[in-house]
């Protein structure tokens, strides 16, 4: 195992994902890739409106990217302090699609991600990144249950 991809969303599932991914990276001497995916900006073209009519949406998205990158960098610095080779990725889009694409792009040998434990109705409506990754997995995938709500 040379490359591990860990998906983090800065929720109560993140600490368990980081812990498991870090332990695996240490045990196998693997390179650890952290990915955080931001949902794309909404588009209002279906309503006959242009993004220019809602500049706040773009500003909010840019602020979200900036905060996410700062959190990603801080998390990576903590992990790197333990002597683990780490690379970060910030993506925009569908979390499931982006995670699967990044795993393929980097040639990940293993994927670690969290599960929020939504009930079946929420999972049907919202979808489940964890369930989708396991169902479509091309490499071993470890799902870490979310911890207690902070």
Higher pLDDT, 95 or 58: 95
pLDDT in tens, 20-43: 999 999 999 999 999 999 987 666
Cβ neighbours of residue 70 under 8 Å, at least 6 residues apart? none
pLDDT at 119 over 60: no
Q: Are 1 and 33 in contact (CB under 8 A)?
A: no
What mean pLDDT is predicted for residues 71-98? 94
21 vs 119: CA distance, rounded Å: 25
pLDDT at 51 over 90: no
Number of H helices, E strands in the chain: 5, 5
List the chain domain ranges. 3-145
The predicted structure's pLDDT at residue 34: 97
23 vs 34: CA distance, rounded Å: 14
What mean pLDDT is predicted for residues 10-16? 89
Cβ neighbours of residue 14 under 8 Å, at least 6 residues apart? 8, 75, 114
The predicted structure's pLDDT at residue 146: 76
CATH of 3-145, picked from 3.40.960.10, 3.60.20.10, 3.40.50.620, 2.30.38.10, is 3.40.50.620
22-36, 37-51, 80-94, 116-130: segment of lowest average pLDDT: 116-130
Report the DSSP beta bridge partners of residue 38: 92
Give the DSSP H or E segment for 92. Answer: strand 86-92
The predicted structure's pLDDT at residue 47: 61
């Amino acid at each position: 195992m040379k490359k591990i991809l860990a998906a983090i969303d800065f929720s109560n599932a993140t600490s368990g994902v980081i812990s498991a991914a870090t332990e695996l990276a240490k045990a196998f001497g693997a390179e650890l890739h952290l990915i955080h995916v931001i949902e794309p900006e909404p588009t209002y073209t279906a309503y006959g409106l242009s993004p220019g009519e809602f500049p706040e949406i773009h500003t909010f998205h840019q602020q979200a990217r900036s905060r996410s990158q700062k959190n990603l960098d801080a998390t990576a610095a903590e992990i790197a302090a333990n002597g683990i080779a780490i690379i970060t990725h910030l993506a925009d889009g569908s979390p499931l699609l982006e995670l699967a694409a990044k795993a393929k792009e980097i040639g990940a040998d293993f994927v670690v991600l969290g599960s929020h434990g939504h009930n079946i109705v929420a999972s049907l409506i919202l979808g489940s990144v964890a369930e989708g990754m396991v169902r479509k997995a091309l490499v071993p995938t470890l799902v870490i249950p979310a911890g207690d709500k902070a």
